[in-house]
Amino acid sequence: MSTALITGASFGIGRTFAEKLAASRTNLVLVARSKDKLTQLAQKLQEQYKLEVEVIVQDLTESDAATKIFNTTQAKDLTIDLLINNAGFGDYGEFAERDGERQMKMLQLNIVALVDLTHKYLPLMRKRRRGSIINVSSIAAFQPMPYFSVYAATKAFVLSFSEALWAENKPYGVGVLVVCPGPTDTNFFVAADFPTDLPNKANSIARPEEVVNDALSALDKGKSTVVSGGFFNQAIVNIPRFFPRETIVSILEKQFQA
Ligand SMILES: NC(=O)c1ccc[n+]([C@@H]2O[C@H](COP(=O)([O-])OP(=O)(O)OC[C@H]3O[C@@H](n4cnc5c(N)ncnc54)[C@H](OP(=O)(O)O)[C@@H]3O)[C@@H](O)[C@H]2O)c1
């Protein structure tokens, strides 16, 4: 039986990854800060599917977070076959007026922890010539986003980084997939301080199950990238290519103004 390590497994898309993978008989390592949520989920999945589920309570904005997680899985002799770098958050508002420390934590979580965990587990996968990594980006990765500037830039990093790794690691039998969801029905918008009417104005809201199904199906097919959510999200990520960058960013500035 294979083992998946999922960051941000306590809520939303990460929790749904855990539930889907458990149903397909994958052992799990669940990582997030909310100990009670993780423990309850682990107990439920263990009982329901007779799996081994480990919980690692860890704030991924700490600079040594990836090292601690890696050391824990090594000490328990766990082989990670699938790494899902899912944990992330956004922060809505004018960059100059938002809390600076929160922006640094976003970089640490959305970028640094993801790169660090990838750098720790990828060499072992290459050695085994088997394994996969799913990195969760966003449709926000494809164009700059006024009022969501740092978040969109972190997701652009994740998209670029992951696609490069897909090509580098194909010869080693290691799959790297970046999944780009559109607005999805999770705690994300509350955590990001998003004005309540904006997500609906922007797009329809997907269920986390749709995102996870799209990701796992794309991984099976050996794809590098999947834009989840069908035609509407495909249009959002492709239309900017045909217009001057100033035009697109000006339209988005109006659309995402509170
Ligand atoms: N929802 C959307 O519309 C949407 C769209 C595109 C992309 N995404 C991406 O999807 C991913 C999952 O988000 P979601 O929508 O499922 O949001 P969510 O419901 O807010 O879940 C976020 C997860 O990340 C964990 N997390 C947050 N800060 C953390 C930290 N410092 N250390 C460790 N874990 C932390 C949270 O757990 P704890 O609070 O327990 O730590 C939680 O499990 C994110 O990368 C997000 O950017 C979401």
CATH number where 128 lies: 3.40.50.720
CB of 229 shorter than 6 A to ligand 1: no
Torsion of CA 23, 28, 118, 213, to 10 degrees: 10
Q: Which atom of ligand 1 is nearest to the CA of 38?
A: 40
Q: Which of 7, 11, 62, 108 best tests ligand 1's pocket when mutated (most atoms within 8 Å of CB)?
A: 11
CB of 154 shorter than 6 A to ligand 1: no
* Domain, as residue range, for 235: 3-256
Average pLDDT of adjacent 10-residue blocks, the chain of 258 residues: 98 98 98 98 98 98 98 98 98 98 98 98 98 98 97 98 98 98 96 80 82 98 96 93 96 94
Q: Is pTM beyond 0.85 here?
A: yes
Helices within the chain (DSSP H only):
12-23, 35-49, 65-75, 100-107, 114-128, 149-169, 188-191, 198-202, 208-220, 230-238, 245-255
Tokens representing 19 are 């539930």
Residue 204 is predicted with a pLDDT of 81
Tokens representing 133 are 């990594």
Going by CA atoms, what residue is nearest to atom 7 of ligand 1?
A: 138
CB of 33 shorter than 6 A to ligand 1: yes
Number of domains in the chain: 1
CB of 73 shorter than 6 A to ligand 1: no
Which of 177, 154, 207 shows the shortest CA–CA distance to 83?
A: 177
Residue 172 falls in the annotated catalytic set: no
CB of 88 shorter than 6 A to ligand 1: yes
